[in-house]
Amino acid sequence: MNCSDVRTFVHGYLDKEIDLVRHVEIEEHLRTCTACSQVHHAQVALRSALKSDELYFKAPPRLERQVRMAARRADRKPWLPRLVPREWIGAAAAAAALVALGILVGPMLGRPSLTERTAQDVVSAHVRSLMPGHLTDVVSSEQHTVKPWFAGKLDSSPPVVDLSGEGFPLVGGRLDYAARQPVAALVYRRGAHVINLFVWPSASTRDFAETADGRLGYNVFYWTRGETNFWAISDLNATELRQFARLVQARLVSVPPTDGPAPTP
């Protein structure tokens, strides 16, 4: 997140009206950017000043008494029932039925799908990994070092491919959490851009074609092969990240699929 983004969302950040991912990104930016930190402190000071008692007008006691008396007089007015037309009763019943249907169906329609929840997990895990000291548990550019590291830490070791010759060098790997389970995170780079490739067993035995997604400034490509889920995410442009995904898929044709039982979703 850059300075322009932070200054756009600083009010939502102070009001706690933004999502967790943006909140974490802004906090990280404020710790390293003096200019944006000053903007943040100025907004905090302004909000504190606006809460000062000197800025509020206190109504005199006489006005308060008059308002209370007027309210009591209004309450003493006789209530005259009116006859309600029969067709209005039918319309009211229909409206009540629609409201009840909305109460029952609304939460189901608004509930995010499994793919949506997984995408949110992947974005959150990617953002966490970019914080200092969170990117890798094992640091190595050797696929034969990274793959065995996961042995005993997960039900199965993920397939690891070497793409250094294509401009996507392997950096290492780590344990992470997504889709309600521990997953393997393989870390690659493209220049200054970090690519996280999340890998975990799939409950499906069918291969799933590559799908693209864009969330909060990140590009995401995900697919399923040989009972294994793959989710690649980065702030790298979509064209190059698609190239990375296609290279991984091509290399996996000659790599045996991940062994081990697939966890129940």
87-100, pLDDT tens digit by residue?
555 666 666 666 55
Report the alpha-carbon distance of residue 21 to residue 129 in Å, rounded.
12
Q: Please provide the average confidence, as pLDDT, over all residues in the chain.
A: 79
For the record, the structure tokens of 159 come out as: 């397939």
Structural domain contains residue 215: yes
Q: What is the pTM of this model?
A: 0.55
Q: What is the pLDDT of residues 163-198, one digit of tens each?
A: 999 999 999 999 999 888 999 999 999 999 999 999
Q: Is 190 left (phi over 0), alpha (psi -120 to 50) or beta?
A: beta
Q: Which residue has the tokens 């493209």?
A: 190
51-75 pLDDT, tens digit per residue, is 655 555 667 777 778 888 888 777 6
Q: What domain range is 168 assigned to?
A: 114-252
Kindly state whether residue 248 falls inside one of the protein's structural domains.
Answer: yes
CATH number (domain holding residue 247): 3.30.200.100
Cα dihedral across residues 176, 149, 190, 232: positive or negative: negative
Same domain assignment for residues 38 and 135? no
* 244 and 120 in a common domain: yes
Collect all residues with Cβ–Cβ distance below 8 Å to 30 and sequence separation of at least 6: 6, 36, 37, 40
Whether 133 maps to a domain, the answer reads yes
Examine residue 9 and state whether it is found in any structural domain, yes or no: yes
